[in-house]
A and B are shown apart, each in its own frame.
Chain A
Amino acid sequence: MTFTGKNIKRKEDYRLLSGNSQFVADMQEPGMAEALFVRSEHAHAKLNKIDISKAENMGGVYSVIIAEHFNGEVDQLPPHSEFTLPQNLIDEINPIIQPCPEDILAKDRVIYVGQPIAIIVADNRYIAEDAAELIEIEYESLPSITDPYKAMEQDVDIIHEQMSSNIQAQFDLSTGNYDQALKDSDNVLKERIKTPRVAANPIETRGILSTYDSRNGKLQVWSSTQVTFMVRKYISKLLGLVEHNVRVVAPDVGGGFGSKCAVYPEEIIIPYLSMKLDRPVRWIEDRMEHLLSTRQSRDQTHDVKVSYNNDGTITGIQDYFVLDNGAYNPLVLTCSYNTAAHLRGVYDIPNFVIGGNCVVTNKAPTIAYRGAGRPEAVFVMDRIIHLVATSLELDPVEVMMKNMIKPEQLPYDSGLIYRDGEKVIYDSGDYPDGLKQALELANYDKFRKEQKKVKSDGSYVGIGISSYVEGTGIGPHEGAIVRLDSSGHVMAFVGSAPHGQSHETTLSQICADEFGLDPEKVTVKAGDTDLIPYGVGTFASRGAVTAGNAVHVASKKLQEKLLAIAGEILEISPSDLEMNDGKVFPRAMQNKYVTLEDLALAAKPGPKCKVPEGMEPGVEATHYFVPPTVTYSSGYHVAIVEVDEETGFVDILKYYVVHDAGKVLNPKIVDGQIQGGVAQGIGAALYEELVYDDNGQLLTGTYMDYLIPTAMEIPDVEMDHQEFLSTRNPMGVKGVGEGGTISPPAAITNAVCDALNPLDIKLNDLPISPSKLRQRIKVAKTS
């Protein structure tokens, strides 16, 4: 019996359902103090004076620190070198990148609302908040820049003094000959298309607990993070500690979606404080802090020019776009380059020019959020398809089919280089067939027929489609150590730690298959830097591809070793042995067997060791899976919506997804990722936006203003699957974590425009809030 591909129930569920889970905020250590950050109230201001004396003297307060207290002891947080570009890509796109390290606490100036200025460590949060009231900060307000276009102008203030302009990073790339295509084409359209700033909003906010054992110099840090190894690296580097003495553990993590895929100043300073004060220190972010200062995302504006012919063939795209970094962007070009590399998606558009600017403004810093640059690209591309179709009075499906990469073109070389330095070559799939499947699932033709009647009755119903191809499972590596213990139980240790992705279940399925064991007899451990020497993390739809294949290969290696040991005991060639249900036996004589416990015992070093000569004693195997490059998942989303003309409210009547994630490890979990991803995408389409005023004040700092969709707004997504195995890893898996989120904004926007057609309404910006849509309907009706 094989377990991969089956709906094995989740191993994680019991503790999460019974209240026995352990998130960082659930942990208390003896003598623990709590930290509170005092954050900037100004988007741009000089800090003329900070008086902490009253707060320091309050009962129950252990320490109040500002930047000058650790000058020279704690370095600035640099941009994450893990996300720097390979040399061949640098040669290709000639990027300009200005280094932009981040102060752990603001020194003499603040550059965004929410920037940490001071930390109070006290007996508990209540006292720390009382003390915060006693800190007097004298701000001298400076003009703030909230518009990235303004930030790029010649005569504006430069936000980071060491930079020569506010453009932190810039790149250009092209393939084909766009100018020629423009000359030779029948039509051209020009549009500005925008995706707003949003926040990931995992329901568990960030949190850190740090303890320091001064006797052995060991620092133990629990953090709600997606990247434990990165956190360890920067703690060790910035605090000057031997890396081995720093252990970072991500216990249960309540969602991340990219917002916990970075090292934050708080993750450096809380450990520093626990060392300095020689006591455990815990900081748990509250929701207002999360909305103010946890890294945000998207926020791109595209100026596109598209050349196309009367038959719907798109001959070329030119796109210059701006990503509003906010005050910092530690991932530098990651999201913007993802946008460039993914923009054309399933389409064969030979002439392509794209240039991106990442610009510093006085808003909260940004990083990646589920999809990381792809939802932005897909929104642009699918709006283009819809706009071209509308201008030619064609059905969008016709324009899609006309331009789509044909199955015989696969593997398809898109002419670009991926972020990992390899060529962008789509490995496997059948895109037109995926679209056909999606149209059948949605009953597209029938809908089109009925739509006419419904519309003539005065209802605004419409259908919209979006497609994507997504590079998933990026390297550089992820590893697994698989070990048999003396009770015959198999343990698998991995470096990529989950925050809802069900690693304990799916990875145990993979492992169990290799040993012929029930997944119950396999335990997967993750989220602890002491488990395995090297690890990367869980982000960018990479867990199943990288950690999955690492577990697969390491399990195979261990299985071979176990057979070799069994061969020594049974005096039979290992090739004549089989392993199943915890036993190893000769294929021809199944009642003569050794158990896994026997093998674990026989592998111990010493005179009784039965490990064949040339092999190390012990029953453990390690494998680091290094993907040759990413593997390309793909999918189609179809939305059917009804628009209330009076209120501007959009009701999603039906939502369909067809996707290809290669080999499916656990269908229920894969479907769960899609459904949940779609919900986040619907949020981005209709509800979510971080709004800043001209002074850089966040106007959406609570859940009363920043709207997250509820059960009332999310439909049951009907799904269908393609299963084109990836050619780039032994299991044939592709990533599925982000696909659900990538397409909803485009599918829903196209559906809304289709519903309102023939009213000339252009929705090239999100979210489609009722007030915005109502206004656009009004204008369209009067013009």
Chain B
Amino acid sequence: MTETISVLVNGKKITSEVEPRLLLSDYLREKLDLTGTHLGCEHGVCGACTILVNGRTVRSCLMLAVQVDGCEVDTVESLTEGDGMLSPLQQAFADNHALQCGFCTPGFLMTITGFLENNPDPNDEEIKQAISGNLCRCTGYTNILKAVKQVSKSRKLKEVVKE
């Protein structure tokens, strides 16, 4: 038994036949070959599979593909700009050595993308709290914190310049 779903994935409309039990994470990775979204625990704790659904962060291992019928889904592949340039957040990760093995990184990037949309000027505690649902085993987190601060600071600067 399959269902037809229609999803806007990274700005592109995609229609698929899926089994109702297919996880959203497996749909993205196995059917659409968007392997940037990673699976670390498949029980909703590690955060490696975090993506945006209608602009809100979700764990794609805890959602079914049929649930995103008619939704907008953004994965880590959406962050790189059209010419392949890294986005300011991705660049900040590179600048601050905020990744080592890089496996958890896409989840962090998507969590932070969603977070900064709602809170563009966070303090340290707010950042820590925001990323506390993502586990990283390599970096010890502080460089990730620095990367987030670099981005929010540059955003702030931009706003000042605009004014």
A interface list, Cβ under 8 A from B: 9-10, 12-23, 25-26, 28, 124-126, 200-205, 252-255, 257, 284, 286-288, 499-502, 668-669, 671-673, 675-680, 702-704, 708, 710-712, 714-717, 740
Contact string against A for B residues 97-134, beta-carbon threshold 8 Å, 1 for contact and 0 otherwise: 10111111110010000000000000000011101111
CA distance A293 to B18 in the complex (A): 32
Please state if B21 and A711 are interface contacts (CB–CB under 8 Å).
Answer: no
Partner of B102, one of A12, A675, A717: A12
Contact residue among A126, A200, A676, A708 (Cβ-Cβ distance under 8 Å from B100): A676
Given contacts A17-B94, A669-B97, contact A203 B128 (CB under 8 A): no
Query: From A224, which residue of chain B is reached at the shortest CB distance?
Result: B103
A-B contacts, 15 listed (Cβ < 8 Å): A10-B97, A16-B101, A17-B109, A25-B29, A25-B38, A25-B39, A124-B30, A203-B103, A203-B135, A253-B101, A675-B139, A675-B140, A702-B41, A716-B145, A717-B140
Partner pick for B137 among A14, A22, A257, CB 8 A cutoff: A257
- Return the chain B residue nearest A26 by Cβ: B35
CB of B14 within 8 Å of the partner chain: no
Indicate with 1 or 0, residue by residue over B27-41, a CB within 8 angstroms of chain A CB atoms: 001100111111111
Contact A17 B90 (CB under 8 A): yes
Q: Is B46 in the interface zone, CB < 8 Å from A?
A: yes
- Alpha-carbon distance A675/B96, docked complex (angstroms): 13
Using CB atoms, name the residue of chain B closest to A200: B137
Docked Cα-Cα span, A126 to B43, in Å, equals 16
Asked whether any CB of chain A lies closer than 8 Å to the CB of B138, the reply is yes
Asked whether, in the complex, the Cβ of A714 is within 8 Å of the Cβ of B142, the reply is yes
Residue picked from B39, B128, B132, most chain A C-beta under 10 Å:
B39
Q: Which residues of B contact A124 (CB under 8 A)?
A: 30
Q: Which residues of A contact B132 (CB under 8 A)?
A: 710-712
Bound complex: CA of A125 vs CA of B30, how far in Å? 11
Query: Is B43 in contact with A703, judged by CB distance below 8 angstroms?
Result: yes
Closest to A702 in B: B43
Q: Which residues of B contact A204 (CB under 8 A)?
A: 38, 40, 101, 103
Tell me which residues across on chain B come within 8 A of A501, comparing CB atoms: 100
Q: Are B101 and A19 in contact (CB under 8 A)?
A: no
Question: With contacts A9-B94, A21-B102, A288-B43 known, what are 15 further pairs, Cβ within 8 A?
Answer: A17-B93, A18-B77, A19-B75, A20-B36, A26-B29, A28-B30, A203-B137, A499-B101, A502-B100, A673-B100, A676-B138, A679-B137, A711-B128, A712-B129, A714-B142
Given the known A-B contacts A19-B76, A704-B45, are A202 and B103 also in contact in the complex, defined by CB atoms under 8 Å? yes
Q: Are B43 and A287 in contact (CB under 8 A)?
A: yes
Choose one: B97, B105, B127; the contact of A668 (CB below 8 Å): B97
Smallest CB separation, B69 vs chain A (Å): 19
Q: How far is the CB of B66 from chain A (nearest CB, A)?
A: 14
Cα–Cα, bound, A205→B109 (Å) = 20
Taking a contact as CB atoms closer than 8 A, the residue among B95, B136, B141 that contacts A203 in the complex is B136
Asked if B86 is at the interface (CB within 8 A of a chain A CB), the reply is yes
User: Roughly how many angstroms separate A87 CA and B29 CA in the complex, as a whole number?
Assistant: 51
On whether the beta carbons of A255 and B137 are closer than 8 Å, the reply is yes
Residues A714 and B141 in contact in the complex (CB < 8 Å), given A9-B94, A9-B95, A16-B102: yes
Q: Is B151 close to A, CB under 8 A?
A: no
Q: Is B154 an interface residue (CB 8 A)?
A: no
Q: Which residues in B have their C-beta under 8 angstroms from that of A287?
A: 40-43, 46
Contact A702 to B45, CB < 8 A, known contacts A202-B101, A714-B141, A717-B142:
yes
Task: Please state if B131 and A711 are interface contacts (CB–CB under 8 Å).
Answer: yes
Tell me, in angstroms, the Cα distance from A19 to B135 when the chains sit together: 18
C-alpha spacing A124/B23, complex, angstroms: 13
Is B67 close to A, CB under 8 A? Answer: no
Contacts of A499 in B (CB 8 A): 101
Residues in B neighbouring A288, C-beta threshold 8 A: 43
Q: Verify B76–A18 contact, CB threshold 8 A.
A: yes
Asked if B79 is at the interface of the complex by the 8 Å CB criterion, the answer is yes
Expressed in whole angstroms, the minimum distance between the Cβ of B3 and any Cβ of chain A is 15
If A16-B102, A19-B36 touch, whether A708 touches B135 (CB-CB below 8 Å) is yes
Beta-carbon nearest neighbor of B45 in chain A: A703
Residues of B within 8 A of A26 (CB): 29, 35
Kindly state whether residue B4 has any CB partner on chain A within 8 Å: no
Central interface residue in A499, A676, A677, by most chain B CB within 10 Å: A676
* Interchain nearest-CB distance for A389 vs B (Å): 29
Cβ distance A729 to chain B, nearest Cβ, rounded Å: 24
Contacts of A675 in B (CB 8 A): 139-140, 142-143
Give chain B residues whose Cβ lies under 8 Å from the Cβ of A205: 40
B59 vs chain A, min Cβ distance (A): 12
Provide the residues of chain B in CB contact with A286, threshold 8 Å: 42
B-side contacts of A712, CB under 8 Å: 128-129, 132
Q: Nearest chain B CB to A741's CB is how many angstroms away?
A: 10
A19 touches B100 (CB 8 A): no
| CB neighbours of B140 from chain A (8 A) | 672, 675-680, 714, 717, 740
**Contact present for B143 and A672 (CB under 8 Å):** yes
Given A17-B90, A675-B143, is A254 in contact with B36 using a C-beta cutoff of 8 Å? no
* Shortest Cβ-Cβ A-B pairs, 3 listed: A19-B36, A254-B103, A16-B102
Minimal beta-carbon separation of A656 from chain B (angstroms)? 14
**Residues of A contacting B36 in the complex (Cβ-Cβ under 8 angstroms):** 18-21
Chain B residues with Cβ under 8 A from A15's Cβ?
102
Residues from chain A with a CB closer than 8 A to the CB of B135 are: 203, 703, 708, 710
A17 touches B105 (CB 8 A): yes
- Shortest CB-to-CB span from B84 to chain A, Å, is 8
Say if the beta carbon of B144 comes within 8 Å of chain A: yes
Tell me, in angstroms, the Cα distance from A523 to B43 when the chains sit together.
38
**B2 at interface, CB cutoff 8 A:** no
| Assembled-state Cα–Cα distance A702/B90 (Å) | 30
Residues on the B chain within 8 Å of A717, using CB: 140, 142
A107 to chain B, nearest CB (A): 30
Closest to B142 in A: A716
Option from A25, A254, A677, A714 in Cβ contact (under 8 Å) with B101: A254
Give every chain A residue within 8 A of B15 (Cβ-Cβ): none
Contacting residue for A710 out of B101, B139, B141, B143, CB 8 A: B141
Shortest Cβ gap from B17 to chain A (Å)? 15
- Decide if B24 is an interface residue (CB 8 Å cutoff): no
Contacting pair B103 A703 (CB below 8 A): no
Contact among A18, A253, A708 with B86 in the assembled complex (CB-CB below 8 Å): A18
CB–CB B100/A13 < 8 A: no
Does any Cβ of A come within 8 Å of B48's Cβ? yes
Contact check, A17 vs B86: say whether CB atoms are below 8 A apart: yes
Bound complex: CA of A202 vs CA of B103, how far in Å? 9
- The complex places the Cα of A677 from the Cα of B102 at a distance, in Å, of 16
Taken residue by residue from 143 to 162, chain B's Cβ proximity to chain A (1 for < 8 Å, 0 otherwise) reads as 11100000000000000000
Contacts A13-B99, A17-B86, A703-B43 known; A255 to B77 CB distance under 8 Å? no
Which residue in B19, B105, B139 is a CB contact (below 8 Å) of A16? B105
Q: Which residues of A contact B30 (CB under 8 A)?
A: 28, 124
> How far is A126 from B23 in the complex, measured between Cα atoms in Å?
10
Indicate whether B54 reaches chain A with its CB closer than 8 angstroms: no
What is the CB-to-nearest-CB distance from A699 to chain B, in angstroms, rounded to a whole number?
Answer: 16
- Per the bound structure, the CA–CA distance linking A20 and B34 in Å amounts to 9
Residues of B within 8 A of A702 (CB): 41, 43, 45
Nearest CB on A from B68, distance (A) = 18
CB <8 Å contact, A13 and B46 = no
Is the CB–CB distance between A255 and B103 below 8 Å?
yes
Complex Cα distance, B135 from A9, in Å, reads: 24
In the assembly, what is the distance between CA of A254 and CA of B48, in Å?
11
Alpha-carbon separation in the docked complex, A261 to B35 (Å): 25
A214 to chain B, nearest CB (A): 26
C-alpha gap A715/B104 in the complex (Å) = 19
- A28 vs B30: C-alpha distance in the bound complex, in angstroms? 8
